[in-house]
A and B are shown apart, each in its own frame.
Chain A
Amino acid sequence: MISTTSSVSLAASIQDLHKTYYLKGETVHALRGVSFDVPMGDYVAIMGPSGSGKSTLLNLLGCLDKPDLDRGRLLLGNDDIGRMNDDQLAMIRASRIGFVFQSYNLIAQLTVLENIQVPLYYMGRLGRKERQRCRELAELVGLEHRLSHRPSQLSGGQQQRVAIARSLVNDPYFILADEATGNLDSVTTAEILKLFQRLNDEGRTIILVTHEDDVAQHAKRRVRLRDGQLHSDEQTQNRIIL
């Protein structure tokens, strides 16, 4: 907790984070004391072998789950996530977090535009201005001509771009992407990474989980986990700028 960067505001502060799962008498220590800060505007790639706790960390950052309460804490802005109740966590998810999933996770019955609008609906803000913004976001990801299409009518890359537009709609603290390019070919992966980079250039914070060095190479910073602990945390050497 050496907080020398107090002048830079933090998107998230991870302090000695633990997460233990209890399963039928068995306990799994998915995270065992992870600490690092994510300043606003950062672009972090989280890496590590399978089972090292990457998804667990991302779920905690995304307020989908709560960390162990007896040790460490997770701060988003000034909010201690461990102390929030279910409704408060939902509010935070709706208003401050953007998710991009490996399997896109669009809602099949809804159109592209409607999918982008979903978080606004749960924030309780779906006025004219917001609608217009949804169209602009669709334009940003290059899907302005596909607004009334269903997810099943789109390619994987297009679906992922809808998901990215959706993750931006609430103007989040950060975008969490768990293997966001895992299902895509190299060309489409490049497209998505380009989009991420552009968003980061515009000041958006991005936290990306990936197995692939090529993908991590686009981030500004690389965090490695091993056995639920921080293994390394370094700035990217020879970062690829698209």
Chain B
Amino acid sequence: MALWLRTWQLGVKSLLLHPMRSLLTVLGIFIGVASVIWLLAIGEGISIEAQKQIEGLGADNIIVRSVKPPSEATTEIRGPVPYGLTRAEYQILVDTIPTIKSALPIREVRRQFKRGPRLIDGRLVGTTPDYARILRMEIDQGRFITEADMQYNKNFCVLAAEVAEFLFPYENPIGRKIQLPEHEQFFQVVGVLKPRTATAAIGGSLDAQEFNKDIYIPITTLQKRIGDQITVRRSGSFEGEIVQLNQITLSVHDVGQVLQTAEIVQHTLAPRHKAYSDINVVVPLELLEQARTTRLMFIVFMGLIAAISLLVGGIGIMNIMLATVTERTREIGIRRALGARRQHIVSQFLVETIALSIVGALVGVVVGLACPFVMTQVRLGLEHYRPDLMESLPAVVRNVTPVIVPESIPLAFVISVLIGVVFGLYPAVRAAYMDPIEALRHE
């Protein structure tokens, strides 16, 4: 039998002499290792979540949105309040900024859609044919709106999956008509989209986009048939507003141009919206930065917890090993008399601390791997009992699904073994440098 195997056997044996003590010793290491795995898993989850959201919005996009100004700012205006982006501004942006590859004007109105007895609340989106490509919409049946539809102000519409399913549960919607009761308009369905996951709101500046209740029509048709002025019922009274465009989605040729272009857009539009703040420029790429910061903060925070537990764990190990060394002074003397070199004594005690920290690491890894499960449970629990608390969390945190980073497991092991070595070395060396004669005399 190899000698090192004997050493290990011996180490494990003497640890098992005090199982409770050994387990308590291991607690700090266990918490440390578990938190290392957790922090990396959650960090990775945040990363992936952010990436997904950015992808949904498009990293090379700049989104300019109209924002309804606060009512205090518009008290002087009687009647419907005009605000937001205009078609003229759209034209200016397209004409004057060369880095813009394409620009997507969007007008959206909350409306009701009717088919026979079935009525659904949804979003009427007026846009251009580019919309489907830029927002990566996939066609399920039929087609998206075309240039020709735009040109002739056609009353054609494309339905998002959920609307189609609701209004046409038994028949193929293509070629059929739906009604907008609020405007006494009829639209003929020319296409149906595949379901699309919503992009969550990030940073509070962009509302969550729930694409599945949308109905798309040519923006020209919307302007002509419905117009810029919309009346919405709000808490009993009617409020009017005049909006030409709710959003312009700009994409640039190269991701590198995003930030610079966004700045130019901001400068171009700012003088035209001095009266009150009614536009907002959102750069998904900046949201990526935000997500990075969130993730970094999280990793620093959890890293601190991990470091403290590992330190405490290490000190615990050192403490217990010092006690063990004192307790076993006589044995050390005997072994030295029988020919043990200092290195033998060092390795004997070091093996024990390493064995301890490996056990801690093992338990830590098991608990660490349970992270995604535990997080899901916690989230479900929070959603159920404290929805308000959930609401207050940033979206990236709210939606995060921890993803175990495979490297974190060997990393955790290496860290805990290192802890074992670092904190076990002093007691072991102390044992090895005892005077054998004194040690033999020890009671």
Q: Interface residues, chain A, CB within 8 Å of chain B?
A: 59, 62, 64-65, 86-87, 90-91, 93-95, 99, 101, 105-109, 118-119, 121-124, 126, 166, 170
**Least Cβ distance of A238 to chain B in Å?**
34
Residues of B within 8 A of A121 (CB): 3, 6
A122–B13 CB distance below 8 A: no
> B residues within 8 A CB of A123?
339
Residues of B within 8 A of A95 (CB): 339
Q: At the interface, yes or no: B101 with Cβ under 8 Å from chain A?
A: no
Residue B23 at the A interface, CB < 8 A?
A: no
The 8 closest A-B pairs by CB, nearest first: A94-B339, A122-B339, A90-B341, A93-B339, A119-B338, A105-B334, A64-B436, A87-B341
> Would you call A99 and B6 a contact (CB within 8 A)?
no
User: B14 contacts A109, CB within 8 Å?
Assistant: yes
- In the complex, how many angstroms separate the beta carbon of B218 from the nearest chain A beta carbon? 87
CB <8 Å contact, B6 and A64 = no
* Interface band, chain B: 20 to 34
Beta-carbon contact of B341 and A86 below 8 Å: yes
| Sample (23) of A-B pairs whose CB atoms are under 8 Å apart | A62-B337, A64-B336, A64-B437, A86-B341, A87-B342, A90-B342, A91-B339, A93-B338, A93-B339, A95-B339, A105-B330, A106-B334, A107-B331, A108-B331, A109-B13, A118-B334, A118-B335, A119-B338, A121-B6, A122-B344, A126-B3, A126-B6, A166-B338
Residues of B within 8 A of A (CB): 1, 3, 6, 13-14, 17, 330-331, 333-344, 436-437, 440
Complex CA distance for A53 and B154, rounded to whole angstroms? 118
* Main SS at interface, chain B: helix
> Chain B residues with Cβ under 8 A from A93's Cβ?
336-339
Docked CA distance A158–B340 (Å): 24
A105 to B341, CA, bound (A): 18
CB distance from B352 to the nearest CB of A (A): 12
Within the assembled complex, what's the spacing in Å between the Cα atoms of A218 and B409? 66
Tell me if A126 and B341 are in contact (CB < 8 A): no
Q: Residues of B contacting A166 with CB < 8 Å? A: 338
Query: In whole Å, how far is B119's beta carbon from the nearest beta carbon of chain A?
Result: 82
CB contacts (< 8 Å) of B341 on chain A: these are 86-87, 90-91, 122
B344 near A105 (CB under 8 angstroms)?
A: no
A240, chain B: closest CB distance, angstroms: 30
Residues of A within 8 A of B333 (CB): 105
In the complex, chain A residues whose CB is within 8 Å of the CB of B337: 62, 64, 93, 99, 105
Residue from A65, A95, A101, A107 having most chain B Cβ neighbours under 10 A? A107
Closest to A105 in B: B334
Residue of A nearest to B335 (CB): A118
Q: B342 to A94, Cβ gap below 8 A?
A: no
Q: When chains A and B are docked, how far (Å) is the Cα of A64 from the Cα of B337? A: 7
Residues of A with C-beta under 8 A to B331 = 107-108
**Across the interface, which residues of A come within 8 angstroms of B17, CB to CB?**
109
Contacts of A86 in B (CB 8 A): 341-342
Q: Residues of A contacting B1 with CB < 8 Å?
A: 126
CA distance A121 to B436 in the complex (A): 18
A101 B440 Cβ-Cβ under 8 A: yes
Using CB atoms, name the residue of chain A closest to B343: A87
A108 to B13, CA, bound (A): 12
> What residues of chain B lie closer than 8 Å to A94, measured between beta carbons?
338-340
Chain A residues with CB under 8 Å of B330's CB are 105
List of B residues within 8 angstroms of A90 by Cβ: 336, 339-342
Neighbouring B residues of A101 by C-beta, 8 Å: 440
Residue pair B437, A118 in contact (C-beta under 8 Å): no
Instruction: Report chain A residues within 8 Å CB of B340.
Output: 90, 94, 122
- Chain A nearest CB from B333 CB (Å) reads 8
Shortest distance from the beta carbon of B356 to any chain A beta carbon, whole Å: 17
CA–CA, A109 and B344, complex, Å: 18
**In the complex, A124 Cα to B13 Cα: how many Å?**
21
Contacts of A106 in B (CB 8 A): 334
- The winner among A62, A94, A123, A166 for most chain B CB atoms within 10 A is A94
Which chain A residue has the least Cβ–Cβ distance from B433?
A: A86
Given the known interface contacts A109-B13, A109-B14, the answer about A122 and B437 at a Cβ–Cβ threshold of 8 Å is no
Give 12 new A-B contacts, CB below 8 A, not counting A107-B331, A118-B334.
A59-B437, A86-B341, A91-B339, A94-B338, A95-B339, A99-B337, A106-B334, A107-B334, A109-B17, A118-B335, A122-B339, A126-B3
